[in-house]
Structure 1
Amino acid sequence: MFKNYIKIALRNLWRRRGFSLINISGLAIGLTAGFLILLYVNFELSYDRFHTKSDNIYRVVADLKTPSDHLQLSQPAWAVAPHLEEQFSEIESAVRILNMNMLVRNDEIKFKESNAIAADPAFFEVFDFKLLQGDLNTVIKEPYSIVLSKTTAHKYFGDENPIGQSLKITEDGYITKITGVMEDIPENSHIRADMVLSLTTFTEDLDKELNTAWGNYDPAAYILVNSNVKKEQLEPKFEDFLERNCGEEMREFQMFATLFLEPFEDVYLHSTRGGKGDGNINNIYIFSIVALFILLIASINFINLTTARSVERAKEVGVRKVIGAEKGQLALQFVGESIIISIIAFIISIVLSVVFLPLFNAAAGKIISSGVFSSGINILILFSISLSIGILAGLYPAFVLSSFRPVSVLKGNFSTGTQGTILRKGLVTTQFTISIALIIGTIIIYNQTNFMRNQELGFSKEQLLILETNASPKQLAFQNAIEKLPGVKSTSLGSSVPGGGNSNAYSEIENKAGELQAANLALYFVDYDYISQFELELAAGRGFSKEFATDSTEAMVINEETAKIMGYSNPEEAIGAKFKQWGREGQVIGVIKDFHFRSLQQNISPMTMRIESDRNDLIAVKIAGQNIKQTIASIESQWSSILPTEPFDYYFLDEFFDEQYRTEERFGDLFLNFAILAILISCLGLLGLAAYSTLQRKREIGVRKVLGASVTEVVRLLSKDFLKLVVIAFLIASPIAWFIMDYWLSDFAYRITIQWWMFGLAGVLAIVIALLTVSFHAIKASVVNPVKSLRTE
């Protein structure tokens, strides 16, 4: 019996090959898209969950309040972690992690390592980063000990054993000893490192006061607590802890800290404080909804097409019932055929997933999965979904058609009734509601990304080549040499560039009331040409000038936001204000207009500029638009001659700054691709309903044609009902899409306003898509000879 069911199913599939292809491909595409999104969501949710102690690890973060501002920092002061471990029995271990950019040399091999960290000795005890060589208890205990990742060790030493060998780090050439090799840190870790230097290098040798520095906020800090301790028990005790250790200092400098704990597993997706936690839980929610929508659309499409096809088999059902087939047997046959189709679609979706996974990894910007079969549970989920869809799609024809009276069916008097029509129209309306919502979402995401890319930043980033000199003593000689090259328009030195991060400094600036007001301000060290090089505009006063000898020691330039928090209603009022900052005293000589020195996801914050030549480790080179490659080659030649020990690393500022929006761009691209797939599958569903409707109205179309109806009138007749469904879908989709996308936009400090035309454009696109889809069957039916239609009916 079962063999007979399979034979009949395959025979029916082959007889209607075109129909079967549309049905199977629609479901296969939906399953593939859903599966890839499932892999992505699972990967993002897996961040930092491979650590066995992750439930008991917390990141220590701080709020810093001054009379001027309230900062939310991703790290506490240097002294916090060791003192927490010492003074709280609930805390087993504390680890500080300092992100570093290091110049690393091994004889002639030299690299700028941007993915290096320095960490406390307990690093490998608290976290499950696997050591291939070395003792985890002592591997980074001694100053100048360093652990390399497997890939990094091979980069510097090839197949040679690196243990016991040395590397020179930083411009000063400190000699480090390699004490361990670790497995490459997994992709799904927010702590990333190719090499781990002992933090004792700093705390026990280079700067022995760091362990008692309560006003210096730099390394991230993590604590491992006892298994029965919760953050709600610890956090209330931190106020007394800070008062005991640095209460007087906080009052003296008017900088009041508050400590909080973030669960380690929440840092990547849920933290709003940064610190390499660059995931976004809202994106995960939206992608999960998209996956659900696509699978729902694919299911609806499959059910509609299966239903439309099953009506054509009503006479077959009548014949089978006449010769003795029971209702249960017929129901089992229809459900079985539907399951077979869904399993075929499942197999095709696996093949498609294998083909498209590398492209999906590239689009996501990370290896979300090394292979489709790397996770058996995901395959099982996909199979369960396809099986459920098959059963669901088969139930309607199974129980409706198998219940028809054979005499009525064989006479041609069969109909699925009003309920069936309402069901199918409801399903298509649901499909297009989802599709229109996705179209609206795509339009809004595109416009937000475009808005960030084209927003006026307040500085020039075009044709600027950035070189890292690590504050080499020879950087001035190099600067003078390249200024003479053809193709080089101008140069300037600085400690940072817009988008490249900045130092924060405790500052006191005279406010409008004439008092020195404390604030924690962003600080750029620059040279005399920095302001003109980046085309920053002055709102008041002047920029730095070599004509004033005191500018190099006693002058400061602030931005408008700094003037504002100091109480000045007009930038002119801030000129001449006294300041104290990092041991320097002087006065404000200029106020520059606010510019976006950070991502547009953040508000413009107060910042200051000072001249301090020994802290400038970047050179910004303005180059001509012609012969760029030749100009870079000439610059590299001078670099090799003057700075032979430094690796020649450079980047263009516009590309570097735009990199900040790469996550949003990738999200937008993925969203667009999946929206297109959803619309495609919806069109297949609409095609199914159009085919069914045309089949049901063959006699009506024939009569109208005999009475003189034109092709246009017939097409309009058949299309009218479907356009009504699209309009209803648009009215339902618009408020849903607005709510979801407004929530998504709330993450951005600078965002677009959702405009009415975005909804109008989505509605027009949906109508055009629906018309093109329905017109295929409508035109096909309208050109059929009416005599043939009436004869067959």
Structure 2
Amino acid sequence: MIRNYFKIAFRNLWRHRGFSALNISGLAIGMAAGFLILLYVGFELSYDKTHSRGDSIYRVVADIKTPSEKIEANMAAWPVAPNLQQEFPEIIAATRFLTAELPVQLGNIKFVEPRVAAVDSTFFKIFDFELLKGNPDKVLNRPNSLVLSERTAKKYFGEEDPIGKTLKIQEDGVAAEVTGIMKNIPENSHIQADLLLSMITLTQPPNNYDAEWGNYGPSVYVLTATGTSPEALQAKFSDFLERRTGDRMRNQKMFVTLLLEPFQEVYLRSERGGDITGSINNVYIFSIIGLFILLIASINFINLSTARSVERAKEVGIRKVVGAGKNQLALQFIGESVILCLIAFVLATVLTAIALPYFNTLAGKTVSAGVFSNQGNIGYLFLISVSIGVLAGIYPAIVLSSFKPKTVLKGRFSTGNKGGFLRKGLVVAQFSISIALIIGTIIIYNQMQFMHNQDLGFSKEQTLVLQSNIDDSQKALTEAFAALPGVKSIALGSSVPGAGNSAAYSEIENKNGDLQVANLDLYFVNEDYIPEFGLKMVAGRPFSRDFATDSTQAMVVNEKTVQLLGYAKPQDAIGARFKQWGREGQIIGVVKNFHFRTLQQEIKPLTMRLDPRETSLIAIKISPQDISKTVSAIKETWQSFVPAEPFDYDFLDEFFDRQYRAEERFGNLFLNFAALAIFISCLGLLGLAAYSTIQRRREIGIRKIIGASVPGIVNLLSKEFIILVGIAFLIASPIAWYGMHKWLQDFAYRIDIEWWVFALAGVSALGIALVTVSFQAIKAALANPVKSLRTE
């Protein structure tokens, strides 16, 4: 019996191979897209889950309250980690984690390692990163100790054993010993480094970081004992801070609260950010899209299966006459549907394997090394395919196996209104999803364009940025650059817009004449910085070499600082006194607000001061003509002055745009999957159009005989689908508005959701539907009416 079922199933599939191919391919594409999204979501949710005691690890963060603001920092003061470990028995170990670039020299060749972290000796006690060589308790307990990742060890020493060998580090070329080799840190970790430097290297004398309670720099992680309540431990921190630094907080009017963030939630759920962050909202969005695509593919499959099953009514009637039972017929239909789905499952697996490298590139990370790297995901996909097959086969199985044979054999078979409502409801669901995705795609694209085209308040075009040593060679180097034909101007600074900044404890005179305490962003610059970046002065003057006191007693602030201090207009802040990091003086100028952070963040108060000891970045404005020749000349000049230093540069516009790479990747992924969903929806609509045409072919034949035109018949068949798309539009619009409104809240500067977005989405969906339906409608209208009426 079972053999007979398979034989009939494959005969039907082969007899209608065009239909079968359409049905299988639509489902396979949907399943492949859903599988890719499943891999992406699974990878994002797997971040920081590889540590055996991960649920007992916390990141220590700080809320810093000043009279001006509340700062939610993602770090803690330098002395916090060692003192917490000494103070609380509930804390087994604490480590600091400070990322930086580090000059590294091997022989006469110098490198700049971009992924370096200074950590305490307890690092491997807290985290389960695998140490291949070296004692985890000792590899980082001495100054100038290095632990290299496998790839970094191979880069410097090839196949040699690097343990005990030395590398020269930092600008002064201090010898550092390689004490350990660790396995490359997995990509699904927000803690990333290829070279670990012992923290004692930085904290040993003459540095005094371990006593500087007002100095914030490293991230802090603690491992707590099993059963420790984080809330109870966190409640003890206020007394701890009072004993250690209470007088300092009161004197400086900066009051600190330490908090514990679960380590496994830092990447996706922390609102404080970090070096590497994700977005739980994006994970939710892609999960919904994946579910939608599978739902659309399933609806499409059901619609096409239903449309095809009507043509088999007479076959079923004959089989019932010759003795086939109702259960046997139902099993036959469900079996055929499952077979189709299993074929689609195999095809989906192949499509996923082909698309995975492209998908990894689009996502910007290796989401999965291969389709079979996670057997559980393949199992889920298999169960989904079988479930879809069963569900898709149930409706035609129940309907076609329950009617009376003589009714069907006389040609009066109809599935009734309930079947029509079901199919139309499924199409409305499909197009509701599609319209919502079209709206989302338009809004995401417009937000990305808004961010790229936003007036940043500074000039970033044709600006080349170099990291240099702050020594006597810097002045000669910049003078040599300035003499090059393609160089227009040169500026020095501690940072460039978008590249980060220092935060400084500041006291600035407010409108009441009091010195107002605030923790303000600080740029160290030279006299050419403001004009080169095109920053606009709204009051006072910029720094000038004509005023000797500018280098020691002058400050320029932005409009946000003026607002923070309570002045009615920028001019009122000119002459206000300040104290900042050992310097005292007056505000000499106010610049117009500019975006020195990303557009996801609001513009904050900013202070600027002259200090040649802190300006390690060289910003070179070059002519747009023959850029490659100018860059080559700059490179030659660099190599003639500092031959041992690698020539590593960025163009500022490219550097600034890289800040939005995560959003661009999200937008590209969204666009690709939205297009797939719309394509699969069209297949579903094609299925319903085919079904409707089959049901009404006699009506069409009669209409043609009595004089109906082709456009009239096309209009007749298309009208009901236009109504379905209209209903879908009404359902999708408010849902899409709410979802996109929530997504835009992550951006401090964002577009408004305009009415035309919904109009464009509705018109696009209607156009797609009409093109899809018209194919079947025109085909039916052009058919010979004699053939349509022959079965009467």
TM bracket, shorter-chain basis: over 0.9
In the other structure, the counterpart of 1:602 is 601
Query: CA shift at 1:109, angstroms?
Result: 2.8
In the other structure, the counterpart of 2:220 is 221
Equivalent-residue separation in structure 1 for 2:575 and 2:109 (angstroms): 50
Partner amino acid for 2:92? E
In the other structure, the counterpart of 1:3 is 3
Partner amino acid for 2:199? L
In the other structure, the counterpart of 1:177 is 177
In the other structure, the counterpart of 1:565 is 564
Residues 151-195 of structure 1, C-alpha deviations (whole Å, 9 max, x = no match): 011111111111111111121212111100111110000000010
In the other structure, the counterpart of 1:116 is 116
In the other structure, the counterpart of 1:612 is 611
In the other structure, the counterpart of 2:752 is 753
Tell me, what secondary structure is at the counterpart of 1:613?
A: coil
Partner amino acid for 2:136? L
CA contact (8 A) 1:507 1:580 kept: yes
Q: How does 1:465-504 map to 2 (within 5 A)?
A: 465-504=464-503
Is 1:349 the counterpart of 2:348? The answer is yes
Partner amino acid for 2:275? K
In the other structure, the counterpart of 1:325 is 324
CA contact (8 A) 2:525 2:610 kept: yes
In the other structure, the counterpart of 2:706 is 707
In the other structure, the counterpart of 2:134 is 134
Query: CA shift at 1:108, angstroms?
Result: 2.7
CA contact (8 A) 1:33 1:294 kept: yes
Is 1:379 the counterpart of 2:378? The answer is yes
In the other structure, the counterpart of 1:391 is 390
In the other structure, the counterpart of 2:260 is 261
In the other structure, the counterpart of 1:771 is 770
In the other structure, the counterpart of 2:412 is 413
In the other structure, the counterpart of 1:86 is 86
In the other structure, the counterpart of 1:581 is 580
Equivalent-residue separation in structure 1 for 2:624 and 2:185 (angstroms): 41
CA contact (8 A) 2:134 2:181 kept: yes
In the other structure, the counterpart of 1:12 is 12
CA contact (8 A) 1:268 1:276 kept: no
In the other structure, the counterpart of 1:252 is 251
In the other structure, the counterpart of 1:45 is 45
Q: Indicate the larger mover: 82-91 or 306-315.
A: 82-91
Equivalent-residue separation in structure 2 for 1:284 and 1:52 (angstroms): 24
Structure 1's consecutive aligned runs of 4 or more residues displaced over 2 angstroms after TM superposition are 470-473
Equivalent-residue separation in structure 2 for 1:719 and 1:470 (angstroms): 72
Equivalent-residue separation in structure 2 for 1:714 and 1:67 (angstroms): 75
Equivalent-residue separation in structure 1 for 2:619 and 2:81 (angstroms): 37
Tell me, what secondary structure is at the counterpart of 2:204?
A: helix
CA contact (8 A) 2:510 2:516 kept: yes
In the other structure, the counterpart of 2:455 is 456
Is 1:717 the counterpart of 2:699? The answer is no
Residues 281-339 of structure 1, C-alpha deviations (whole Å, 9 max, x = no match): 00000000000000000000000000000010000000100111011111111000000
Equivalent-residue separation in structure 2 for 1:103 and 1:548 (angstroms): 36
Residues 424-456 of structure 1, C-alpha deviations (whole Å, 9 max, x = no match): 000000000000000001011111111111111
Query: CA shift at 1:700, angstroms?
Result: 0.5
Equivalent-residue separation in structure 2 for 1:403 and 1:395 (angstroms): 12
In the other structure, the counterpart of 1:151 is 151
Equivalent-residue separation in structure 1 for 2:742 and 2:273 (angstroms): 20
Tell me, what secondary structure is at the counterpart of 2:527?
A: coil
Query: CA shift at 1:205, angstroms?
Result: 3.6
In the other structure, the counterpart of 1:55 is 55
Query: CA shift at 1:352, angstroms?
Result: 0.2
CA contact (8 A) 1:469 1:646 kept: no
Equivalent-residue separation in structure 2 for 1:538 and 1:108 (angstroms): 46
Is 1:100 the counterpart of 2:100? The answer is yes
Residues 581-608 of structure 1, C-alpha deviations (whole Å, 9 max, x = no match): 1111111110001100000000101111
In the other structure, the counterpart of 1:650 is 649
In the other structure, the counterpart of 2:277 is 278
Is 1:784 the counterpart of 2:761? The answer is no
- Paired residues, what number? 792
Equivalent-residue separation in structure 1 for 2:29 and 2:109 (angstroms): 49
Residues 671-693 of structure 1, C-alpha deviations (whole Å, 9 max, x = no match): 00000000000000000000000
RMSD: 0.8
Tell me, what secondary structure is at the counterpart of 1:605?
A: coil
In the other structure, the counterpart of 1:302 is 301
Partner amino acid for 1:569? A
Query: CA shift at 1:89, angstroms?
Result: 1.1
Equivalent-residue separation in structure 2 for 1:44 and 1:569 (angstroms): 47
In the other structure, the counterpart of 2:524 is 525
Residues 720-758 of structure 1, C-alpha deviations (whole Å, 9 max, x = no match): 000000000000000110111111111111111111111
Q: How does 1:179-198 map to 2 (within 5 A)?
A: 179-198=179-198
Equivalent-residue separation in structure 2 for 1:757 and 1:721 (angstroms): 25
Tell me, what secondary structure is at the counterpart of 2:575?
A: coil
Query: CA shift at 1:29, angstroms?
Result: 0.4
CA contact (8 A) 1:571 1:591 kept: yes
CA contact (8 A) 1:143 1:205 kept: no
Equivalent-residue separation in structure 2 for 1:316 and 1:233 (angstroms): 73
Query: CA shift at 1:206, angstroms?
Result: 4.7
Equivalent-residue separation in structure 2 for 1:574 and 1:240 (angstroms): 39
Tell me, what secondary structure is at the counterpart of 1:614?
A: coil
Query: CA shift at 1:471, angstroms?
Result: 2.2
* TM-score normalised to structure 2 length: 0.99
**Residue segments in structure 1 that go unaligned for 5+ positions in a row:** none
**Residue segments in structure 2 that go unaligned for 5+ positions in a row:** none
Partner amino acid for 1:193? A
Query: CA shift at 1:790, angstroms?
Result: 1.1
In the other structure, the counterpart of 1:162 is 162
- Identity of paired residues, percent? 63
Tell me, what secondary structure is at the counterpart of 1:615?
A: coil
Partner amino acid for 1:215? G
Partner amino acid for 1:194? D
Equivalent-residue separation in structure 2 for 1:341 and 1:175 (angstroms): 67
Is 1:365 the counterpart of 2:357? The answer is no
Query: CA shift at 1:204, angstroms?
Result: 2.1
Partner amino acid for 2:355? F
In the other structure, the counterpart of 1:27 is 27
Equivalent-residue separation in structure 2 for 1:470 and 1:367 (angstroms): 36
CA contact (8 A) 2:501 2:521 kept: yes
Partner amino acid for 1:82? P
CA contact (8 A) 2:109 2:644 kept: no
CA contact (8 A) 1:269 1:277 kept: no
Equivalent-residue separation in structure 2 for 1:502 and 1:637 (angstroms): 30
Tell me, what secondary structure is at the counterpart of 2:613?
A: helix
Partner amino acid for 1:54? G
